[in-house]
Amino acid sequence: MARGANSIARIVALLLAFAFAFFGYFKTFASIAVLAQHHAWTLALPVAAGRIVGATELAAALALLLGAASARWHRFARGGALYLIVNQACAAAVHLARGETGALPQNALLAGLAAIVAAFIVRRQATSST
């Protein structure tokens, strides 16, 4: 059972890593006009802050990749997953304030997947220390 959960959590971490690598790259390097076309929530922030959010999403993606690649790096994956939960809560709040309720299911899904990764990493850490 633990082996199957381990495989599922690694797959989820990889999927999240690829998604947030794309999202982060987009928010960090795309023009403001392109971000506006795609309703990027970071447009509600000052430009520099939006770029920083994108860079932190790239860092979270890297942390998830490291954690999926090796149990030795599981703390990075847990940290990245926890950051992404907060990130998606902020994104949902901004989307809600802007009346973009259509984006809320995506925020909930991404936060839920990040919670699965974070919960698994915590469980694996607890079982490996006994």
Q: Which 3 state secondary structure label does DSSP give 62?
A: helix
pTM of the complete model beyond 0.85: yes
Distance in angstroms (rounded) separating the CA atoms of residues 55 and 34: 17
Tens digit of pLDDT per residue, the chain (130 long)?
A: 566 777 888 899 999 999 999 999 999 999 999 999 988 889 999 999 999 999 999 999 999 999 888 878 888 999 999 999 999 999 999 999 999 999 999 999 999 999 999 988 655 544 554 4
